[in-house]
Chains A and B, each alone.
Chain A
Amino acid sequence: MSGGAAEPLLAVRGIAAYYGAIRALSGVDLEVREGEIVTLIGANGAGKSTLLMTICGNPRGRGGRIEFEGRDITALPTHEIARLGIAHVPEGRHIFPRMTVMENLQIGAVCGADGDFEGDLDYVLALFPILGERRHQRGGTLSGGEQQMLAIGRALMSRPRLLLLDEPSLGLAPLVVRRIFEVIAEINAERDMTVFLVEQNAYRALGVADRAYVMVNGEIRMEGTGAELLADADIRAAYLEGGHG
């Protein structure tokens, strides 16, 4: 698809995925290039989260290949995929509730073995100052928005090459959602972080994304730049004017 240019950072080629006998994804093709923000939008149950999880090796992708920096990662276990530099912020945040904010962040740094811990910590605390104030508080006592920030901060601590965000705006107040999308744009601009973002909040996601894919029933139906899809009549009708904005 991308033809010329450099090798994409992440390439998903003809991947299907199953939960038992149920097919959740079929023939998914997409690419994320270095330095891009790419978003995947689609309705509930379309298979967006499944695609992110398949990239991370659970469930395992079938029938095609997933490549990261040109390397086939389709058969790797989840933790090895993470160690290659793919940080997954799962849907529902999955922070460690009984551990403090600090401990959560430290575990995030655990596989970036040679990183500069203090520097990364300062960076994350500058992005989300509230985490600094709450550093000794248990993860489970944070508000939903703070937990989302912690989950993103924890993922950044490993200095990933690719950040996979699953529904970061889910269930959060509009102001917090705005801050999270600002941060996504910021880390992309300042740290050249490549981001693959799965969202139901199509309006915000398309606003921040360089390129976007639309998923329907486990297949990619449409792709284009964020601006193109924002202007597309079908997209507007299906995802933007339904009250998601």
Chain B
Amino acid sequence: MDLGNRFGDDGIQWGAILKDAGLAALVALVLALLLFGVRLSDGGGGGLEFRPWWVVIAVAAVFAGRAAVALWIGTRKPASGTALPWFDRAVARLSEHKRLLFAAFFLAVAILPLLPVADRRMVDLATLVMIYVMLGWGLNIVVGLAGLLDLGYVAFYAVGAYSYTLLAIHFDLSFWVCLPLAGAIAALFGVLLGFPVLRLRGDYLAIVTLGFGEMTRIIIINWSSLTGGSEGITGIAVPTLFGLRFTPSPAAGETAFHQFFGIPFGGIHKLIFLFYIILILALLTHLFSERMRKLPMGRAWEALREDEIASRALGLNPVLVKLSAFGLGAMFAGFAGSFFATRQGFINPSSFTFIESAIILAIVVLGGMGSQVGVICAAIVLILLPELARDFAEFRMLLFGGAMVAIMVWRPRGLLAHRVPSVRLGQAPPGALRGGLP
């Protein structure tokens, strides 16, 4: 429903608003009748308890909320274009110093776990957010840059996690050897899954990739001889720092991390180490995609997103362009998957359900398609908020939903929808334009 068009020059169209809110309330009524209105009695005997007031409250809340949103959108100044002009100006000004900001941000994040306030939970949460930042940046290559709507991104995350685990366990290879291998395997899967969907775009592509994501998970569940089925695989080793283990009691002849540095053993050391690994991996992902945008291949991704007909007419091979985006995006999911496996020490298929794909995609979309900083902001909102809001118990998903609605109302094109041009001042970066094209 397009709320923006409900208001002519004659002021607020109350009829339209009431009708709209009424429809929303009707939907709420249908949902609430069964969800809130009826409950099995606690007393046993299978009796039903009816709770009409809950339904009334839900319907009234939806009616009022919908009307308020419609009213608010309708009465704001149409000239401003977006809902928060000051925010746009701030973003534009900040994006002039993008490099500096990025450096400052990473520095701040990098010293975070060393601060005295950092406890296990905080470092662990920061690691979790960084995983999603990295996944968001990886998916941003596929969705934001190349414009291919991928709803099955979690498949490559899973492929990376399982490749890493199986390689590490069966061949006794270290994290640092398995990581690139797992990335390569995930990239290969990206290309393989990319082939059949080359002709598809938009909704159709989304449906097929959604299918691939689920297929991957179901294959993992059923191929139990290799993957351990739904039980998963346990006992995944933690990476070492140049051979230094994070263990309180190292085997004979080995030096553990705390012994080498002559500090007392602390469980948090391992968490901090893991945090730095994901920080570096995420940073690499970011630097890679920023660099790609300035190279012919990244240009080709964006060109294909903007206009496929023109891209072909200019000599871009759509097959190579799409496959490269799919493959590279998958590679970063593979890296993130490896990290996830080593951090958990345990993997099973339930970590790779559709909701993961949906959350990663939501991070990209809410952040503003193609915006690197937007991904950080959205990952913080989408991952950190629900974790911090655990105190609110069952209301936390309500907060989560509310935050998503609020973002889409205020920033319909994402938190940071401003696309930063890849060239400034009319200067082409040297060597950026020629050669090595898809």
Contacts and interface: CB of A to CB of B under 8 A. Distances in A.
Interface string B309-326: 111111111100000000
B231 interface: no
B201 interface: no
A87 B316 CA distance: 12
A99 B302 contact: yes
Contact of B314 (A97, A100, A138, A154): A154
A188 interface: no
Nearest to A164: B313
Interface string B130-166: 0000000000000000000000000000000000000
B21 to A, nearest CB: 34
A136 B424 contact: yes
A83 B302 contact: no
Contact of A100 (B317, B423, B434): B423
Chain B facing A: main interface SS: loop
Interface string A51-83: 000001010000000000000000001111011
A190 to B, nearest CB: 23
A79 to B, nearest CB: 5
Contacts of A88: 313
A144 B299 CA distance: 24
**Which of B314, B435, B437 has most chain A Cβ within 10 Å?**
B314
Contact of B312 (A79, A102, A136): A79
A113 B434 contact: yes
A178 B311 CA distance: 28
B437 A113 contact: yes
Given A107-B300, A110-B300, A117-B433, A82 B313 contact: yes
A181 interface: no
A201 B130 CA distance: 58
Nearest to A92: B309
**Which of A82, A98, A110 has most chain B Cβ within 10 Å?**
A110
Contacts of A107: 299-300, 303, 311, 314, 316
B2 interface: no
Nearest to B320: A79
Chain A facing B: main interface SS: mixed
Nearest to B370: A98
B180 interface: no
A103 interface: yes
B306 A98 contact: yes
B364 to A, nearest CB: 16
Interface string B402-429: 0000000000000000010111101010
A103 B299 contact: yes
B232 interface: no
**Which of A80, A87, A99, A111 has most chain B Cβ within 10 Å?**
A99
Contact of B437 (A56, A87, A110): A110
**Interface extent on B, as a size class?**
20 to 34
B434 A99 contact: no
A158 B437 CA distance: 13
B426 A135 contact: yes
A110 B309 contact: no
A79 B303 contact: no
B228 interface: no
B307 interface: yes
A90 B313 contact: yes
A153 interface: no
Interface string B183-219: 0000000000000000000000000000000000000
Interface string A100-119: 10110011111101110100
A96 B307 contact: yes
A94 interface: yes
B296 interface: yes
Nearest to B434: A113
B310 A96 contact: yes
A55 B54 CA distance: 66
B312 A106 contact: no
A99 B305 CA distance: 11
Given A103-B421, A136-B424, A154-B314, A90 B433 contact: no
A109 B423 CA distance: 15
Contact of A78 (B303, B313, B424): B313
A30 to B, nearest CB: 20
A197 interface: no
Contacts of A109: 433-434
Contact of B421 (A82, A117, A136): A136
A206 interface: no
A95 interface: yes
B433 to A, nearest CB: 5
A96 B303 contact: yes
Nearest to A151: B310
**Which of A78, A79, A98 has most chain B Cβ within 10 Å?**
A79
Interface in A164-188: none
B433 A110 contact: yes
A158 B313 CA distance: 11
17 contacts: A58-B312, A78-B312, A87-B313, A87-B314, A94-B307, A98-B306, A99-B421, A100-B423, A103-B302, A107-B299, A110-B433, A110-B437, A136-B421, A136-B424, A138-B419, A154-B314, A155-B314
Given A96-B310, A106-B433, A107-B314, 4 more contacts: A94-B310, A96-B307, A106-B423, A106-B428
Q: Which 3 A-B residue pairings sit nearest by Cβ, starting from the closest?
A: A111-B315, A82-B315, A94-B310
